[in-house]
Amino acid sequence: MGILSRKETLPDPVLSLHLDESCAPPFRPGSVISGHMVLSTSVNRAIRQAQLHFTGKSTTCQTAYETVGSHDAREERSIPYHHEVELFTQTQTFLEDSKLSSKEPCTTHFDFSFPSRTSSDPLLSLPFTGGTTQSNTYRSAQHDLPHSLSYNPQPRGIGPKKYIKRNTAKSATIDYGLQVTVLFDDQAEPYRSDRQTFAFQPFCNPYRQHDIVTTLPMKLYASSRLICESKSLMRSLRDRMSKATPSVKVGGKITVQGHLTQLAVFPFHATVMVSELSGSAIAIESVTMWVESVTLVAVTTYRALKVRADRDKSVPLEREAVDEECIGLEVLDEKRVVRDEGGEKGRMVYDGVFAVRVPSVSPSLKTFNIDRKYRLRVRIAAEMCGMVFEWKAEVGGAVLIGPAACPGGMCKPPKEREQ
């Protein structure tokens, strides 16, 4: 039978997919997708091959519109940017060199499973380089692109030419679904069914759960108040002139868990360490600590459009860009007075734990096109023996997840996870 012309094309087949009762969303890594598919046609047709595909893919798209020209003669052009990357694919062939009768539909069983990990790290491909050793995609929800992902050409030269720009349709998605392809003898291209998608919810650890530690720089403090002498002008002058003034070095660290959860409170661990004591008489009973501010900074690395040359209608090239967005967090605790935890000999350790609330913001996203993580900009202070020490620090590499993505307590603080 020859290939039909467009006018002689036969009606599309009728397809229906039915999942087994045991298959219920949301699906997790390793979850099974099983059921049966029914294929029927209104006329008898010969089939070369019929396949069922289970795929995961990431898609980034943007349409930039620009109006070029003067007020008298304007030309509007759209510049599409659409990029798809296949994360994994599984295929099941259920018909080959067969005939499909109009009186007897074809019914076949299918059985797939979500991979525990994707076969490769989608971020390792260009244009990204370095710093992307984790694997697996992260979210399966719609995710708006940063505002800075905009095609924004600048007018060149002098003249009446004007540019009016607007940008719409900016989005990035990761989706997983089933699609049937049927290649009939009488058609050159296979018939493709609509893609049936599934709600896939990874565990909160496609990135390995870990604690993030940032060291605070050491500061030298010399004062007779370190040996419990009261403050006075005379002692302050003596401290500045004497080489025997008691002294210590004051530093510390900040520890937060690697996963932060939307609309949840996370423990913020601040540690002050006193070391290099100049004498055994130095005694610091307690330290008063407080958090001045915590700012959540969304850091998004993405593929952006490079500015085209004037009147060049080719598809714009790509560049790597970084977008930052700062969100202030609420610190639920005020000042804390903490005592020495009993560190190593010649060192004093003071630990304080503060509760910080995360607002409802966009979750982390990791695809071939986009890598959105968070870092914390922190200002903390500690008062010790009449002296206030202040530090500014950044805690990078945090992953923000939605509340539903944290099963079984995996996102609890480190000590609770170990119990």
Q: Based on the number of CB atoms within 10 Å of its own CB, is 382 exposed (0-12), middle (13-18) or buried (19 or more)?
A: buried
Residue 1 domain flag: no
- What is the structure's pLDDT at 202? 55
Spatial CB neighbours of 53, under 8 Å, sequence gap ≥ 6: 89, 90, 91, 178, 179, 180, 181
pLDDT the model gives residue 341: 77
DSSP E strand boundaries for 306-410: 318-328, 330-331, 336-339, 348-357, 365-366, 370-384, 387-401
Based on the fold, state whether residues 194 and 327 are members of the same structural domain: no
Calculate the average pLDDT of the chain.
Answer: 71
Domain shared by 175 and 267, yes or no: no
CA distances to 109, 194, 203, 277 from 96, in Å:
15, 21, 38, 81
Tally: H helices and E strands in the chain: 2, 20
215 plus 194 within the same structural domain: no
Contact 258, 267 (CB under 8 A): no
- Rounded to whole angstroms, the Cα distance separating 307 from 44 reads 54
226-230, 283-287, 399-403: the lowest-pLDDT one: 226-230
Band of the pLDDT at 244, cuts 50, 70, 90? low
Give residue 89's pLDDT.
Answer: 87
- Which element (helix H / strand E) includes 233? helix 233-241
pLDDT value at position 243?
60
- How far apart CA 323 and CA 145 sit, in angstroms, is 10
Same domain, 129 and 220: no
Return all residues near 4 (Cβ < 8 A) that are at least 6 apart.
10, 186, 187
- Give the contacts of 10 (CB within 8 A, at least 6 positions apart): 4, 41, 42, 43, 45, 184, 186
Please indicate whether residue 89 or residue 304 has the higher confidence score (pLDDT): 89
Domain final residue, candidates 198, 230, 251: 198
The residues that bridge with 259 in the sheet, in sequence order, are 399
pLDDT digit string, tens, across residues 118-137: 433 333 333 333 333 333 33
- Residue 300 is assigned to a structural domain of this protein: yes
Do residues 185 and 258 both lie within one domain?
A: no
Q: How far apart are CA 392 and CA 74, in angstroms?
A: 52
50 and 187 in a single domain? The answer is yes
206 compared with 23, residue with greater pLDDT: 23
Percentage, residues of the chain above pLDDT 90: 20
Identify the CATH number of the domain in which residue 80 sits: 2.60.40.640
Domain presence at residue 308: yes
- Same domain flag for 147 and 173: yes
Enclosing domain of residue 104: 6-198
**Tokens matching residue 173:** 């998605």
Give the mean pLDDT of 249-255. Answer: 93
- Separation of CA 126 from chain center: 18
Specify if 134 maps to a domain. Answer: yes
Out of 172, 198, 224, a domain closes at 198
Dist CA 144 CA 125 (whole Å): 22
107 in the same domain as 248: no
Are 147 and 237 in a shared domain?
no
**pLDDT exceeds cutoff 70 at 145:** no
Q: What is the pLDDT of residues 47-79, one digit of tens each?
A: 899 999 998 876 666 565 555 556 666 666 555
Give the per-residue pLDDT at 393: 92
- Given a cut of 60, whether residue 246 has pLDDT beyond it is yes
Task: Give the integer Cα–Cα distance in Å for 419 and 412.
Answer: 11
Residues 24, 47: one domain?
yes
DSSP conformation class of 145: P
Q: What phi, psi does 336 have (nearest 5°)?
A: -125, 135
Mark whether 294 and 330 lie in a shared domain: yes
Predicted local confidence at residue 28, as pLDDT: 74
β pairing state of 336-339 and 330-331: unpaired
Sign for the pseudo-dihedral over CA of 218, 223, 225, 231: negative
The whole-model pTM stands at 0.53
pLDDT per residue as tens digits for the range 268-278: 999 999 988 88
Q: Are residues 188 and 225 in the same domain?
A: no
Residue 205 lies in a domain: no
> How far is the C-alpha of 373 from the C-alpha of 177, rounded, in Å?
26
In a domain, 203, yes or no: no
116: pLDDT strictly greater than 50: yes
Residues contacting 236, CB < 8 A, separation 6+: none
Asked whether residue 204 is assigned to any structural domain, the reply reads no
Neighbours of 112 (CB within 10 A): 19
Q: Is the pLDDT of residue 98 over 60?
A: yes
Last residue of a domain, one of 169, 198, 227: 198
Q: Do the domain assignments include residue 206?
A: no
Domain count, the chain: 2
